[in-house]
Amino acid sequence: MLLMAYVDLNKTSREDTWFLDSGCSNHMCGKKDYFSDFDGTFHDSVKLGNNTSMSVLGKGNVRLKVNEMTQIITRVFYVPELKNNLLSIGQLQEKRLTILFQHGKFTEDILQLWHCRYGHLSFQGLKTLQQRKMVNGLPQFQPPSKLCKDCLVGKQHRSSIPKKNNRRAVEILQLVHANICGPINPISNSKKRYLLTFIDDFSRKTWVYFLVEKSEALAIFKSFKIHVEKKTNSFLRSLRTDRGGEFTSQEFANFCDVHGIRRQLTAAYTPQQNGVAEHKNRTIMNMVRSMLSRKKLPKIFWPEAVNWAMHVLNRSPTFAIQNKTLEEAWGKLKPSVDYFRVFRCISHVHVPDSKRTKLDNKSFSCVLLGVTEESKAYKLYDPISQKIIISRDVVFEEDKNWDWDKKYEEAIVCDLEWGDDGEEATVNEEESDSNFDADIEEDTEENNASDRQPSNSNAARNRRPPIWMSDYETGEELSEEEHEVQLAMFTAADPIYFDEAVKSEKWRTAMDVEMEAIRKMAHGN
């Protein structure tokens, strides 16, 4: 039994202090008075880091008061020579307790977050990146104490077959491995079913392409060859593939002969001879399954997950390349990963001013699909409008998932046009005529019918009500009886009392006329 304990050279007793020890196999206490349910018949010994030993003279339970609550620590060894009481981290974790170092350089939460950001890259890979400083922007942490369930779902495989080391390429494009994976179910939105992978043997940098049919392999290879040769000013010299029909066609062979590309074909039913490409495809698909499993995402988005997995793997360590990522081995520049975010997390995209009015929302929610190599921006998917969005103005909620089972409806927003302060409002001519001119004509037609004729332009114009009046009853579709009722509702009622009538000039004039008529009739009689 190995105990990584602290030895107090000054013999200072700290009987009331308990230290967390990651190297301690059992809880240890040097004060017998602390024990309850003590078993004095148990004897053992513990070995310290300096190869000295201490005797264990019993075991039992210890009661500790933590945050005003009494906790019982079980299976504590009694070591009289021990000056400092020790709590074993491993023994605590066996009881499914969580240990979190809040103010140190490591927390399980931060490590798990970066594990997800890196597309479920192995913890050993993250540790290698950190220890050898192969990327910028990666925080300090230690290996976790528990397994990732998503990795078990997506990555668990059979034990590998022992293999011999083969000679490696000594420069870029000396040898390229290629392999096709598929058909993959379900078919992607763009009808892709196959994944074609190219791996440079020297740097192990990887490129992926998506195919509808395997017959597209030659056209894709031609495009890949032009791209990498112009990028490096080198020539592709050898291509290693299996004996699939897409690689052994006469057209493919003729193209390689014309361009001086040496073919390396595997033996029949021996995929191990193309192990680099086979292993790379397996690694990519393992990461894809883990990412899709974690967020419960529709599998139709597997090409986006493949692209992100490839992007991550090119910035990850490998046993074939020492102290460098694949990207640095290829381009000789150390990559930065501070822009990494958890694949398919909820993302809030800013809406440009030119795409919204003053009352519209300034952002909308999307799902992160990775990054675009062309624009140095994030690639996102809007599940509501079902559109791909490219933007760099994004706020992420990396712990939130999109609810794919929920049915969303696009919000109906009333478009309002607002002018700047101090500007005069511009009114559409048709709306102006229909809103205001019609009212003027109706008011003056009875009194001035003999004095004017309607203009030809007004008579020929087809008047339409403005859009904003669609929410109001205009009376145009009312029957004759309904129209009379509506007019009666808005017609002023006659006054009932004299006090009400004398307040109206119209009624005073009418009363004066009536009184004058009465006087004339009385005078005539």
Rounded to 5 degrees, φ, ψ at 441 are -65, -40
Q: Determine which of 114-118, 144-148, 166-170 has the lowest per-residue pLDDT on average.
A: 144-148
Q: Are residues 61 and 138 in the same domain?
A: no
* Residue-level pLDDT at 145: 62
- Token reading at 261: 């590309």
pLDDT at 347 > cutoff 80: yes
Q: Which residues of 396-434 are buried (b: 16+ CB within 10 A; e: fewer)?
A: eeeeeebeeeeeeeeeeeeeeeeeeeeeeeeeeeebebb
CATH number for the domain including 62?
2.40.70.10
432 lies in some domain: no
Residue at 388 is within a domain: yes
> Per-residue pLDDT tens for 354-383?
888 888 778 888 888 888 878 788 888 888
Quote the pLDDT of residue 257. 92
Residue found by looking up tokens 């021990």 in the block: 82
Residue 77 shares a structural domain with residue 118? no
**How do strand 194-200 and strand 176-181 relate by DSSP bridges?**
antiparallel
179 and 214 inside one domain: yes
* 111 is a domain residue: yes
Residue 434 in domain: no
Residue 92 has pLDDT above 70, yes or no: yes
In a domain, 403, yes or no: no
Considering only 18-27, 176-185, 260-269, 511-520, which range has the smallest mean pLDDT? 18-27
Q: Is 422 a domain residue?
A: no
| Domain end (from 369, 397, 425) | 397
Asked if 70 and 191 sit in the same domain, the reply is: no
Asked if residue 424 belongs to a domain, the reply is: no
Asked if residue 361 belongs to a domain, the reply is yes
Closest Cα partner for 286 from 144, 191, 153, 406?
Answer: 153
| pLDDT higher than 50, residue 454 | no
129 and 42 within one domain: no
Residues 186 and 128 in one domain: yes
Residue with token string 């009352």: 359
Please report the pLDDT score of residue 403 as a whole number.
Answer: 77
Residue in the structure block whose two tokens are 């967020």: 295
Per-residue confidence (pLDDT) for residue 428, from 0 to 100: 44
CA atoms 63, 64, 70, 74: torsion sign: negative
Helix (H, G, I), strand (E, B) or coil at 305: helix
Domain-terminating residue out of 335, 369, 397: 397
- Which CATH number belongs to the domain containing residue 323 in this structure? 3.30.420.10
Same domain, yes or no: 359 and 340 = no
Same domain for 79 and 178: no
**Are 251 and 127 part of one and the same domain?**
yes
For residue 478, count other CB atoms closer than 10 A to its CB. Answer: 13
Confidence of residue 153 (pLDDT cuts 50, 70, 90): confident
Q: Does residue 99 have a pLDDT over 70? A: no
Pair (393, 490) in one structural domain: no
Is the pLDDT assigned to residue 233 strictly greater than 50?
A: yes
Interval 162-181 mean pLDDT = 80
Structural domain for 334, as ranges: 106-154+170-344
Kindly indicate the confidence band of residue 297, based on its pLDDT and cuts at 50, 70 and 90: confident
User: For the chain, what is the mean pLDDT?
Assistant: 76
Question: Which of 94, 124, 145 represents a domain boundary (last residue)?
Answer: 94
| 326-335, 403-412, 487-496, 507-516: least confidently modelled range | 403-412
For residue range 261-278, what is the model confidence (pLDDT) as tens digits?
Answer: 999 888 887 777 788 888
The count of structural domains within the chain is: 4
Buried b (16+ CB within 10 A) or exposed e, 219-229: ebbeebbeebe
Mean pLDDT over residues 421-428, rounded?
40
Residue 245 neighbours by CB under 8 Å, 6+ apart: 214
Q: What is the pLDDT of residue 175?
A: 92
241 and 324 both lie in a single domain: yes
Domain identity same for 215 and 329: yes
